[in-house]
Structures are given as structure tokens and as C-alpha cells.
Amino acid sequence: MRVLGVDPGLTRCGVGVVEGVAGRPLTMVGVGVVRTPADADIGHRLVAIEQGLEQWLDEHEPECVAVERVFSQHNVRTVMGTAQASAVAMLCASRRGLPVALHTPSEVKAAVTGTGRADKAQVGAMVTRLLRLDAPPKPADAADALALAICHIWRAPATNRLQQAHAQARQAQAQAQQRVRQQTLARKATR
């Protein structure tokens, strides 16, 4: 599985591509940051992010995109920019028919470090170790994007099984309701 991880942000949007499957060594395919100038118009910044992400999608052809779920922050301005960049990433993936997975920061930290309260240095160190890199990717947004991709690769099989189980349960419930309706109609017809 090849996953593009996106750590959304208006000034620095971290991107990282990881390939592999759960339970096997993973490989970093690429890592970087899409940057926009802080003094530019918001519309131009979002277009720049879109163009940068489109280049990553063209170059690396991921099978899915993992985006950090926008988490409530104290600074409304920051969370708005993060949400806007996140929406651009989801749009770019959806336009290509790629599945999009959203993971919270604590889910990513727990998957990569074992604790949802890990700091940026711990995440960077574990990404470096898991991908067998010489040094942690810089800036931290790039390491976070790789961590998102790793998290998704490791969590996707369990998530898919859970979704399949839910779908089967819904189907079984619908079939049971249909049988009850048929039995009720049959009883009414014999009266």
C-alpha cells in the first residue's frame, strides 16, 4: 500500500509518502513541505497548496491519502487555516477517486510512538527509526506527514475489517426486518 500523508497547514503543509503493509518494514518514498507565504491572499495560498499536492499525487501515485483530522485549537485563526488546507487535500484526493482517511493527532502519536501524548521530537525519532532514516525529517510538519502515512498503513486493515463487520451487521438486520415484514403480511393474509 502506498499512502500520501498530509499534515495540513497554510504556511507549511507537510507531505510524505510511505509504502508497505502492516507487520512488514516500511519504506519512505518521499517527504517534503508545500509552503505558502504568510502575507499572500488566502485564495492564492489555497491554490498554491492545491498545486503542490497535485504534483505530489502525480509524482508518487498513492493508493490513498491520510490527512490529519482538524482538532479544536485555542487559536481560531490557526484552526481555520488548518481546516482549509485539510479540505484542499481531501478535494485533491477525492477528485482522483482516492480514498481519504482522517486520523487525529493522538491516534497518529499512539500508532507511531505507543502513546497519544508524545511530543514532536518523539514522533520524529520514531519515524526515523521505523523508516530506517539517517536523521529525522525537517521540519516537523514533514515528519508528521510521514507519521500519518505510517499510522494509516498500520490501522487500515483493522479499520477495513471493522467497516466490513458493520456492513454485514446492517445487511443482516435489514434481512431480518424483511423476514418479519413478510411473516406479518403472510399472517394477515391467512386471517
Q: Name every residue whose Cβ is closer than 8 Å to that of residue 115 and which is 6 or more positions away in sequence.
A: 109
3-state SS, one letter per residue, for the chain: CEEEEEECCCCEEEEEEEECCCCCCCEEEEEEEEECCCCCCHHHHHHHHHHHHHHHHHHHCCCEEEEECCCCCCCHHHHHHHHHHHHHHHHHHHHCCCCEEEECHHHHHHHHHCCCCCCHHHHHHHHHHHCCCCCCCCCHHHHHHHHHHHHHHHHHHHHHHHHHHHHHHHHHHHHHHHHHHHHHHHHHHHC
How do residues 143-173 score in pLDDT, each as one tens digit?
A: 999 999 999 999 876 665 656 677 788 888 9
Q: What is the mean pLDDT of the chain?
A: 92
Annotated binding-site residue? 7 = yes
Q: Cβ distance 147 to 103 under 8 Å?
A: no
Fold of the domain built from segment(s) 2-163: Nucleotidyltransferase; domain 5 (3.30.420)
Annotated binding-site residue? 68 = yes
135 backbone dihedrals φ, ψ, rounded to 5°:
-150, 155
> What is the mean pLDDT of the segment spanning 16-42?
96
Confidence bin at 188 (pLDDT 50/70/90): confident
Point out the catalytic residue in the list 19, 61, 68, 134. 68
Task: Reply yes or no on whether 144 is catalytic.
Answer: no
Task: Reply yes or no on whether 54 is catalytic.
Answer: no
What's CA 43's distance to the chain center, in Å? Answer: 24
> What is the mean pLDDT of the segment spanning 111-135?
95
How do residues 166-176 score in pLDDT, each as one tens digit?
A: 778 888 898 98
Point out the catalytic residue in the list 7, 58, 107, 134. 7
How do residues 77-115 score in pLDDT, each as one tens digit?
A: 788 989 999 999 999 999 999 999 999 999 999 999 999
Point out the catalytic residue in the list 119, 134, 141, 144. 141
Task: Reply yes or no on whether 68 is catalytic.
Answer: yes
